[in-house]
Amino acid sequence: MAVSTIAVSNIILHDKWPGTPIKVVPAEDKNGETFTNAAHHNVVTPEYRPGTKVIVYDSTSSGFATMIYLRWNLSPSGIAGAMSEIVVPEALVTALAYYDVTVDGDAIPTDVEAMGIPCAIMLSAMTDTYFGWFWCGGVVPIDWTPLLAATTVVTQATMLAGAAFSITDGDGDGDRPVFALTDANMSASGWSMADDT
């Protein structure tokens, strides 16, 4: 299976996580970081309830972005999480909490592709079993996490400008979840503003 990438600035995510976003933005740290503030991002004890969603306006991307508070879990894949890694709920594979997320592509069985599994994108590298913010909907939040501006996500080399995409098992890229052009049997996870490269 071919593997490619697309800049995160060229995708818009559909938020499929339960709950309504609030407009209360976390406090900035001394470096001006909001969602990657060390006081509440990549922490062992959650500062917000897991599943809390926040909506923010991003002037660089000219639209709204939704962020969600989740717990990163290295298991069962053993693949380290990094900035712009696509994550899915681990509860589809194990009996752990729904708000635990992993980069294990086996968490995406075919029947779940059709229903439309929630997905999110990591804002930074994280420590195993720590809590933090993830981008789960809308435009890329470049104003809020500037390092995302230069990042990409993995695709199946099928994405087209102006077309919907879905989350699927990335057999060609270490079994990570990847984005692929939506077909008739898949629920859309977002849409693309450019072809993948």
Name every residue whose Cβ is closer than 8 Å to that of residue 173 and which is 6 or more positions away in sequence: 3, 154
Tokens of 145: 């996490």
Strands (E), the chain: 4-7, 11-13, 53-58, 63-72, 86-89, 100-102, 120-122, 131-138, 152-155, 164-170, 176-181, 190-192
> Cα separation of 28 and 51, whole Å?
20
> Cα separation of 45 and 16, whole Å?
25
More confident residue, 156 or 54: 54
Preceding amide of 118 cis, omega within 30: no
- What mean pLDDT do residues 71-89 have? 75
pLDDT at 102 over 60: yes
Considering the entire predicted model, what is its pTM?
Answer: 0.88
> Cα separation of 82 and 61, whole Å?
22
CB atoms within 10 A of CB 150: 12
The number of CA neighbours under 13 Å toward the Cβ of 55 is 11
First to last CA, the chain: 15
Mean pLDDT of the chain: 81
Specify the pLDDT at position 168: 77
Most confident option among 37-41, 55-59, 73-77, 143-147: 55-59
**146: which DSSP letter?**
G
Backbone phi, psi, residue 91, to 5° = -60, -20
Q: Any idea which residue has 């077309």 for tokens?
A: 163
Name every residue whose Cβ is closer than 8 Å to that of residue 108 and which is 6 or more positions away in sequence: 88, 92, 117, 167, 168, 169, 177
pLDDT at 53 over 90: yes
- Give yes or no for a contact between 152 and 6, defined as CB atoms under 8 angstroms apart: yes
